[in-house]
Amino acid sequence: MLIGKKPDIPSSEITPKSLWLDRRRFMTGAAVLGAGLSLPRQWAQAAPLQAAKSPLSTTGEELTPLKDVTTYNNYYEFGTDKSDPAANAGGMKTRPWTVEISGEVAKPVTLGIEDILRLAPVEERIYRHRCVEAWSMVIPWNGFPLSALIKHIEPTSKANFVEFTTIADRASMPGLAYPYLDWPYREGLRMDEAMNPLTILAVGLYGETLENQNGAPLRLVVPWKYGFKGAKSIVRIRFVSDQPATAWNTANPSEYGFYSNVNPNVDHPRWTQAKERRIGDFLRRPTLMFNGYGEQVANLYKGMDLKTYF
């Protein structure tokens, strides 16, 4: 995989760290900061969400603080450092927003984000999030089952996979100028994975609408898979008969399999996956098979060699 030089962002264009680590303090004090400093767009758009707690939530684990969830991110379109997305994502416009749905479906359609939000009630789903880089979080997502959207558009019998394509806006995404991946970013799921009750489309976290660096306004969350399977800022969903090409699998198939299930027994070629570091912890902990969701999803892979189909 070819990695280009990270774009240089002048410090004058980045909100001071002491402010963006505490959004509420920043918003309260914004009125007296003067006309020369403005709120990032995604913060200005944030609004409370009404979300009932889902019985499918993970219980008994401490939540990762909001400031870590919103400032320690992988979103290469905005840069490769973990702090780049929070610093650079403010210019991406998330309203108006539409998602084109096509392929092997009875009802191809383009839906606005407001139409999508009417398909099913928003729930709070507390999920473990496991990154392929061996760090993890516990995040209270707000979203609804992907299956609600799938049932609405009625896939045909030829629809075996779902392909997700994310936004590629060169005006607001400095990372697109560099060949980290083949843009736009694409991900995919098998149909039974997409229909699993744990798979959601997230529209918020911690009871507020998603911020840009977390994939606003609509992202995929599949908690038993590594985090890069969670396509952010989705603009197209296509139902196809054959396994679709996906971003990381195309860039380096020996390191990033199509399935990308969390599996402590299959190491990344350059590091072990047997343990992980929960953000905020000093010590590492054992990685759980299927990220701890095996009871709900192991049946999807019965009879498969998970070292071949990793």
Q: How confident is the model at residue 27 (pLDDT cuts 50, 70, 90)?
A: very low
What gap in Å lies between CA 18 and CA 16, rounded to an integer? 6
Average pLDDT score over the chain = 88
Examine the pLDDT at 25 and tell me if it is beyond 90.
no
Strands 234-240 and 123-130 come out as: unpaired
Collapse the DSSP code of 42 into the 3-class scheme (helix H, G, I; strand E, B; otherwise coil) and give the result.
helix
Examine the pLDDT at 31 and tell me if it is beyond 60.
no
User: Quick one: CATH architecture of 11-301?
Assistant: Alpha-Beta Complex (3.90)
Collapse the DSSP code of 278 into the 3-class scheme (helix H, G, I; strand E, B; otherwise coil) and give the result.
strand
- pLDDT tens digits for 35-44? 333 334 343 4
Examine the pLDDT at 265 and tell me if it is beyond 90.
yes
Supply 180's token pair.
């980290």
How many angstroms separate the Cα of 258 from the Cα of each of 224, 232, 252, 267?
Answer: 14, 17, 11, 15
Examine the pLDDT at 2 and tell me if it is beyond 50.
no
Q: Where are the domains of the chain?
A: 11-301
pLDDT of 4 reads 37
Q: How confident is the model at residue 48 (pLDDT cuts 50, 70, 90)?
A: confident
Supply 237's token pair.
């969903």
pLDDT of 33 reads 29
Supply 126's token pair.
């507390």
* Cβ atoms 262, 270 nearer than 8 A: no
pLDDT of 269 reads 96
pLDDT of 46 reads 56
Collapse the DSSP code of 143 into the 3-class scheme (helix H, G, I; strand E, B; otherwise coil) and give the result.
strand
Whether the bond between 108 and the residue before it is cis, its omega within 30 degrees of 0, is no
Q: Could you give the dihedral angle defined by the CA atoms of residues 153, 159, 161 and 162, in that order, rounded to the nearest 10 degrees?
A: -20
Query: For residue 148, what is the DSSP state?
Result: H
Element (H, E) at 296: helix 294-297
- pLDDT tens digits for 51-90? 999 999 999 999 999 999 999 999 999 999 999 999 999 9
* Of residues 113, 128, 133, 291, the one with CA closest to residue 215: 113
Collapse the DSSP code of 240 into the 3-class scheme (helix H, G, I; strand E, B; otherwise coil) and give the result.
strand
Q: Which residues pair with 161 in a beta bridge?
A: 190, 240
Which pTM does this prediction carry?
0.86
pLDDT of 26 reads 34
- How is 92-117 classified by DSSP, letter by letter? ---SS-EEEEEESBSS-EEEEHHHHH
What gap in Å lies between CA 265 and CA 76, rounded to an integer? 27
Q: Residues 6 or more apart from 35 whose CB is under 8 A from it?
A: none
